[in-house]
Amino acid sequence: MRLLILGTGGMAHQHAKHFAAIPGVTLVGGVDVDPARVEAFGKVHNIPRGFASLEAALAWGEFDAIANVTPDSVHYATSMAAIAAGKHVFCEKPLATDHGKAVEMTEAAEKAGIVAMVNLTYRNVAQLQRARAIVQSGAIGKVKHVEASYLQSWLVSKAWGDWRTESQWLWRLSKKHGSNGVLGDIGVHILDFAVYGAGSDIDRVFCRLQTFEKAENNKIGEYELDANDSFAMSIQLENGALGVVHATRWATGHMNELRLRVYGELGSVEVQHRHDGSRLLTCLGPDAETGTWTEMECDPVPTNYERFYAAVQDGKTAEPSFRHATNLQKVLDLATVTDTDRREHAVNA
């Protein structure tokens, strides 16, 4: 598979590293509007060609697939152009900035017959994969309740850099720079973590969003700091379980932590994923009577990068797919609506 990497910012280095490590994948080109950045990126990853636009790369055309690592607001136009050219697409999350665009992208990809997948990176967590298998096996019985959280602290810590002075962070706080805030940025991750681990999609949703004061007039230079910083969401899953999902960038002491608890009538599972490691805890069978939790060892699982390559070889889209990401985008869109009208909404109404 000959791969073009579209966008050569921070996350693109992860794409280049992971794809280059897969036998059968060749990185043939990079694209960025910044000539110096794409040149530097090519040198670091030994990529022979650099382009100033996707149009120029498509005119060249000597590649099979793209890794779309552009900002969220650019995913739609760039992915649609690649799909029209018959190229397979591995897109960063969220798939689009709204459900309507996501539907268009999904339908275009399915009509074109190309492989179209989304990099919901926490599918790479072996503990989450094992937890889902346990839930689907029936070992915890019928699922009754779900808790999920995504905690970050970069608004109160400089461990990852100073957001007040660095554009890579400031744009995530500004609507006009293409951000849907914490809901759009990491909300899609924790929603996927929850529904995948619990083995059921979301049926109903209600959400509250909050944007906190972060600077004088909530503005730094060209950046209006108006995107949401925190959300708290109640959900009902299609399997009938009730759940709570929340995320924030104000979680002092938590660098980057996802947690999922799935409670069933026979037992429970808990997944903890942090920047320094992951754990799977179970309370199953007789242990449910004593509240005894056991940590389970988990073998590594294929990464999304490996799954995408395998899907291209098979000629058939695998998960996480555009279709799945589109369903998540509908929940994200409705979450914003519910914050405005203060009432619960059905996802599939």
pLDDT of residue 10: 86
| 2-121 CATH fold | Rossmann fold (3.40.50)
Q: How far apart are CA 44 and CA 63, in angstroms?
A: 20
The secondary structure element, H or E, covering residue 183 is: helix 181-185
290: Cβ–Cβ under 8 A, 6 or more apart, which residues?
none
Q: pLDDT tens digits for 79-103? A: 999 999 999 999 999 999 899 999 9
Predicted model pTM: 0.93
Task: Tell me the average pLDDT across 216-245.
Answer: 97
Record: fold of 125-301+320-346: Dihydrodipicolinate Reductase; domain 2 (3.30.360)
Nearest to 304 by CA among 192, 202, 185: 192
165-213 tens-digit pLDDT: 998 899 899 999 878 899 988 999 999 999 999 999 999 999 999 999 9
Q: Where do the structural domains in the chain lie, given as residue ranges?
A: 2-121, 125-301+320-346
